[in-house]
């Protein structure tokens, strides 16, 4: 029985009870080795009646084998794979080696894991138990953590155990945790009495508790070193008991008392903890160890047997045995295990052991590891692939081939989020190759690291230098690099290097792909923009747009979308990022979805689709947390802060604290610019609303990215005028003039005339406001148009033209109400009252506040999607969709899906 764990046990059983009632949960138990985490999990699994228990665990030897732990967990319910959406089923089947569908996105495997578990829970509540999660292979860990974070109204509970201090890729941020602490004196005494068959004397018990620090494993081991007389106090206890830190040495001493053949078997078990007795037996035969050796190892007390499995009883046993062996002995055992696994359907495990046994370069073995790495990469097991590729490179005699394999390791390490390792591998590969194509690929990866984690200008320098170097010998790659550099330059990452489009494409474009034609035309557009030739830039961009959007290529769509934002083409930007998002959803490409969501928010915000922006930001925030990509939550959180500011709503303090924490603790790379600028815009808007015009001017003057400065132009100019900084206001208008006159965008021309009106003499202002409104009539920026109506109405009221003022103030109020821009709506209403007209408050009885997930569900249901289709799009279960849909009905007062479609949602 368990001693001293009543609180922990009650917590776990309560989670199981909640899951049975349709309220999912997850918990990570963590504590020192031997503290009793596994015992707690075993106890809860045994006590959970009427529940399907699915178990797996991390095995140190399986850490390089992608999805190994997930396969064990899902094996009893794999028949349910036929019930989940086909793309998910294909991805999961391929990851587990059951289907051949080409390259797999690991995100889709994670979604499929969620779907299979929630399908199983439709038949019976499910308890998922994952022991030693710190040793999970990274692919399994990512899938299981995603599932734990996405569970909602499901009959599933997930319990993990993690050893404190273990080096691990199991990053469980966002999943609640519980510390399993030391036993108190009373519980320790009960445990010793149970183990020894008699109680310990008070002074002996005190000594044992102090020496063990209340660790159950240590208590048992220490008590086991004492005789019955010593335990009861009838004989003296040794001056120095075995300290907890010496337990590993104690296990080793017990192992060394065994005959050499039995020690050899223990080393086999320690080297390959898959637990299969058949594998251990075959390896033992290869090493010439007899059957007696296996029996002696089994009876040593250092291993546990259960049917056809055999494992060391505690990680410290494995560590002691493995570290005490010589390098030659370990290689011999790995060689035997590789031979024992040959022909038994586990090529990856066999290749890994063969690689561990190698003593120097071996072309054939390197090729075998190469194949294993390619297979792991195909299945989405990036950490495993990186391990295989790196070992393959180490064993490869040929320098160029070694560089290629080392780069493959770097590419997969990057996909797995191992930044430091990626840098080292990429640097090593770069020093070994002279191949221009490979050098370009390596430099693109190096630049991507800087884009994501470092400096935009450093990334720009890498891209531009690499593009020029590859221009003649690898022109296709040079084009990709040059376009990437041009995009960075537009968003604050300009290093000063320039790349001439004519140098990059010195061959007839008719002979290249549509993709390359699009990118080259786009490169010309971005180059023209960087030189201030905005009219040429817009024309060249339009030439690239149609062919690029229809291609569906996510990289091309990303480049086009970013260019459209920079050039001020709101509709094109929305078109590109929406196409990118739709394609990513269709293919289950979660990271592409996460890329597109906050970027689509830019044009949607400008086009007045603020409720859509709220939904996009909410989804991106939730998805970044579910996938463990914390830094990618920064820009969505900044969007939420800006919307809250413009709507006069309180900022969620938890979200604000989260944003501050991300900015302080996580490198944002190129995202630091837009995140900071959105935050500055939000701070400026709040300051302006409170009448702190100098503070508003300060915040808005700090906006760095030119495209964002143009988006916020009216706010910036208005703040400068109200702060008395007329010279700044005029300078900002003048900065916008060349862009507006060249591009002829109606919104830009409208912003220029609005700004000029604010700094003009009263006699000239009216005509400028009229002209601004005329331009905005042909634009699709309702917020800016409403600002202009408000400013013009204020001007007319001050000029005692109250009747004319009311027309503009009334229109401004209506538009602000549509956007729910409360502070400016209040300002318009106050001005309207001051003009002699009572502002009518619009009936907002149908405008309700829904949670982010409820908004998303309501929007998709309104499009006619079924619960199952909504679940596939939102990456949750149909049961969770039904739960949120019921909440939507309750909050809105509607009772049907059709009525929900007619409702204007808040």
Over 142-177, what HEC string results? Answer: HHHHHHHHHCCCCCEEEEEEEECCCCCCCCCCCCCE
Nearest to 601 by CA among 582, 620, 626, 623: 620
Q: How many residues does the chain have?
A: 906
Backbone angles phi, psi at 157, to 5 degrees: -130, 140
Q: What is the largest CA-CA distance in the chain?
A: 108
The CA distance from 400 to 434, in Å, is 8
Residue keyed to tokens 């007619």: 902
6-179 classified as CATH 3.90.420.10? no
- Count of alpha carbons within 13 Å of 31, Cβ hemisphere only? 21
**Type and span of the H or E element at 691:** none
- What pLDDT shows up at residue 125? 97
Nearest to 354 by CA among 367, 335, 371, 368: 335
**What is the architecture, at CATH level 2, of domain 852-902?**
Orthogonal Bundle (1.10)
CB 852 within 8 A of CB 655: no
What pairing do the DSSP bridges indicate for beta strands 126-131 and 177-179? unpaired
Residue keyed to tokens 């019976």: 124
Radius of gyration of the chain (CA): 33
Nearest to 606 by CA among 700, 528, 710, 679: 710
- What pLDDT shows up at residue 242? 52
- Count of alpha carbons within 13 Å of 895, Cβ hemisphere only? 0
Residue keyed to tokens 């007319």: 796
Nearest to 662 by CA among 28, 176, 173: 173
Question: Given CA atoms 65, 67, 73, 74 in this order, what sign does their dihedral have?
Answer: negative
What pairing do the DSSP bridges indicate for beta strands 309-312 and 303-306? antiparallel
Token digits for 285?
Answer: 């035969």
**What is the architecture, at CATH level 2, of domain 419-597?**
Alpha Horseshoe (1.25)
Contacts 24+ apart (CB under 8 A), 322-331: 322/267, 322/270, 322/271, 324/252, 324/255, 324/256, 325/267, 329/267, 330/267, 330/271, 330/356, 331/356, 331/357, 331/358, 331/359
The CA distance from 894 to 576, in Å, is 35
The CA distance from 212 to 198, in Å, is 19
- What pLDDT shows up at residue 507? 54
- What pLDDT shows up at residue 697? 98
Question: Given CA atoms 238, 243, 249, 251 in this order, what sign does their dihedral have?
Answer: positive
List the helix and strand counts (H, then E) for the chain. Answer: 47, 7
Three-state SS at 310: strand
Kindly give the interhelix angle for 436-453 and 475-490, rounded to the nearest 10 degrees. 20
Those residues whose C-beta lies under 8 Å from the C-beta of residue 858, and which sit 6 or more positions away, are: 850, 885, 888, 900, 903, 905
- What pLDDT shows up at residue 244? 46
- What pLDDT shows up at residue 848? 55
CATH number given to 600-834: 1.25.40.10
Domains 419-597 and 600-834 share a fold: yes
- What pLDDT shows up at residue 47? 95
CB 406 within 8 A of CB 390: yes
**Residue 753 class from Cβ within 10 Å (0-12 exposed, 13-18 middle, 19+ buried)?**
buried
Token digits for 456?
Answer: 């935009």
The CA distance from 827 to 810, in Å, is 11
The CA distance from 156 to 158, in Å, is 7
The CA distance from 845 to 835, in Å, is 28
Query: Which string of DSSP letters, residue by residue, matches 441-460?
Result: HHHHHHHHHHHHHS-HHHHH
The CA distance from 378 to 387, in Å, is 14
- Over residues 527-550, the pLDDT tens digits come to 999 999 999 999 999 999 988 998
Token digits for 554?
Answer: 């996510």
Nearest to 106 by CA among 371, 385, 351, 372: 385
Q: Where are the domains of the chain?
A: 6-179, 185-242, 250-357, 419-597, 600-834, 852-902
Nearest to 381 by CA among 661, 69, 616, 643: 69
Those residues whose C-beta lies under 8 Å from the C-beta of residue 646, and which sit 6 or more positions away, are: 610, 682, 685, 783, 819, 821, 823, 824
**Type and span of the H or E element at 232:** helix 228-232
The neighbouring-strand residues paired with 217 are none
Nearest to 698 by CA among 681, 675, 674, 678: 681
The CA distance from 873 to 867, in Å, is 10
Q: Which ranges constitute the DSSP H helices of 648-761?
A: 653-665, 672-689, 693-701, 706-711, 713-722, 726-743, 746-759
- Cα 231 to chain centroid distance, Å, stands at 53
Three-state SS at 683: helix
Residues of the chain with pLDDT under 50: 243-245, 844-847, 905-906
Nearest to 622 by CA among 609, 610, 637: 637
Query: Which string of DSSP letters, residue by residue, matches 622-654?
Result: HHHHHHT-GGGGHHHHHHHHHHHHHHTPPPPHH
CB 92 within 8 A of CB 116: yes
Token digits for 597?
Answer: 């969501």
Query: Which string of DSSP letters, residue by residue, matches 749-801?
Result: HHHHHHHHHHHS-HHHHHHHHHHHHHHHTTS--HHHHHHHHHHHHHHHHHTT-
């Amino acid at each position: 029985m368990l001693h001293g764990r009543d609180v922990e046990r009650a917590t776990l059983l309560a989670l199981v009870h909640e899951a049975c009632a349709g309220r999912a949960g997850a918990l990570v138990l963590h504590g020192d080795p031997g503290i009793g985490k596994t015992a707690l999990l075993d106890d809860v699994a045994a006590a959970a009646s009427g529940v399907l228990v699915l178990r797996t665990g991390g095995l140190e030897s399986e850490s390089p084998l992608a999805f190994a732990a997930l396969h064990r967990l899902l094996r009893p319910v794999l028949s349910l794979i036929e019930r989940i959406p086909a793309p998910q089923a294909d991805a999961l089947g391929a990851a587990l080696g059951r289907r051949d569908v080409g390259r797999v996105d690991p995100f889709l495997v994670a979604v499929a894991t969620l779907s299979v578990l929630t399908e199983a829970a439709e038949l019976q509540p499910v308890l998922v138990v994952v022991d030693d999660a710190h040793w999970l292979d990274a692919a399994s860990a990512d899938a299981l953590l995603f599932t734990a974070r996405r569970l909602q109204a499901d009959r599933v509970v997930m319990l993990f155990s993690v050893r404190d201090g273990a080096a691990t890729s199991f990053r469980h941020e966002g999943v609640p945790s519980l510390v399993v602490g030391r036993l108190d004196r009373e519980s320790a005494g009960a445990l010793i009495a149970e183990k020894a068959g008699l109680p310990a004397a008070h002074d002996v018990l005190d000594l044992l508790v102090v020496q063990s620090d209340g660790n159950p494993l240590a208590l048992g081991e220490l008590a086991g070193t004492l005789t019955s007389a010593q335990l009861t106090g009838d004989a003296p206890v040794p001056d120095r008991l075995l300290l907890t830190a010496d337990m590993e040495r104690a296990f080793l001493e017990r192992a060394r008392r065994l005959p050499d053949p039995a020690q050899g078997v223990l080393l086999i078990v320690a080297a390959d903890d898959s637990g299969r007795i058949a594998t251990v037996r075959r390896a033992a035969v290869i090493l010439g160890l007899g059957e007696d050796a296996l029996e002696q190892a089994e009876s040593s007390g250092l291993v546990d047997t259960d049917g056809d499995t055999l494992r060391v009883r505690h990680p410290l046993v494995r560590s002691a045995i493995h570290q005490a062996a010589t390098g030659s002995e370990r290689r011999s055992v790995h060689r035997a295990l590789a031979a024992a696994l040959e022909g038994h359907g586990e090529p990856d495990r066999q290749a890994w052991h063969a690689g561990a046994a190698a003593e120097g370069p071996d072309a054939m073995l390197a090729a075998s590891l190469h194949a294993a790495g390619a297979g792991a990469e195909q299945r989405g097991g990036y950490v495993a692939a990186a391990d295989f590729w790196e070992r393959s490179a180490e064993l490869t005699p040929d320098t160029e081939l070694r560089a290629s394999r080392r780069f493959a390791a770097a590419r997969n390490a990057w996909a797995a989020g191992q930044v430091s390792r990626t840098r080292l591998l990429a640097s090593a590969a770069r020093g070994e190759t002279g191949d221009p194509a490979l050098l370009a690929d390596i430099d693109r990866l190096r630049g991507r690291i800087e884009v994501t984690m470092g400096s935009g200008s450093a990334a720009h320098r890498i891209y531009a230098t690499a593009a020029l170097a590859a221009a003649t010998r690898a022109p296709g790659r040079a084009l990709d690099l040059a376009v990437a550099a041009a995009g960075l330059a537009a968003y604050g990452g300009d290093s000063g290097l320039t790349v001439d489009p004519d140098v990059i494409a010195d061959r007839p474009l008719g002979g290249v792909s549509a993709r390359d034609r699009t990118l080259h035309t786009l490169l010309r557009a971005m180059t023209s923009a960087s030189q201030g030739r905005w009219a040429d830039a817009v024309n060249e961009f339009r030439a690239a747009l149609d062919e690029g959007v229809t291609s569906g290529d996510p990289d091309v769509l990303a480049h086009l979308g970013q260019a459209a934002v920079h050039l001020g083409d709101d509709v094109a930007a929305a078109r590109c990022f929406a196409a990118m998002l739709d394609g990513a959803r269709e293919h289950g490409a979660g990271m592409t979805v996460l890329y597109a969501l906050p970027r689509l928010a830019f044009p949607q915000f400008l086009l007045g689709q603020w409720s859509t922006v709220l939904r996009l930001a909410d989804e991106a925030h939730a998805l970044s947390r579910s996938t463990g990509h914390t830094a990618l939550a920064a820009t969505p959180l900044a969007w939420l802060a800006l919307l809250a500011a413009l709507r006069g709503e309180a900022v969620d303090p938890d979200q604000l604290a989260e944003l501050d924490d991300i900015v302080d603790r996580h490198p944002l790379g190129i995202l630091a610019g837009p995140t900071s600028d959105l935050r500055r815009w939000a701070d400026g808007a709040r300051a302006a609303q409170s009448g702190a015009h100098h503070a508003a001017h300060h915040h808005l003057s700090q906006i760095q990215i030119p495209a964002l400065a143009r988006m916020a132009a009216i706010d910036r100019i208005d703040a400068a005028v109200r702060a008395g900084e007329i010279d700044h206001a005029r300078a900002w208008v003048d900065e916008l003039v060349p862009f507006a006159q060249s591009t002829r965008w109606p919104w830009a021309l409208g912003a220029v005339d609005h700004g000029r009106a604010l700094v003009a003499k009263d006699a000239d202002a009216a005509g400028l406001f009229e002209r601004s409104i005329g331009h905005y009539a042909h634009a699709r920026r309702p917020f800016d148009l409403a600002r202009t109506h408000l400013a013009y109405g204020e001007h007319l009221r001050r000029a005692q033209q109250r009747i004319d003022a009311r027309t503009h103030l009334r229109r401004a109020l209506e538009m602000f109400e549509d956007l729910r821009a409360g502070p400016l709506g209040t300002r318009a209403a106050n001005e309207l009252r001051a003009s002699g007209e009572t502002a009518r408050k619009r009936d907002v009885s149908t405008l309700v506040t829904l949670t982010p997930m409820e908004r998303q569900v309501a929007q998709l249901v309104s499009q006619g999607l079924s619960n199952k289709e909504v679940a596939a799009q939102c990456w949750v279960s149909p049961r969770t969709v039904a739960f949120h849909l019921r909440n939507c009905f309750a909050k809105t007062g509607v009772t049907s899906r059709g009525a929900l479609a007619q409702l204007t949602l808040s």
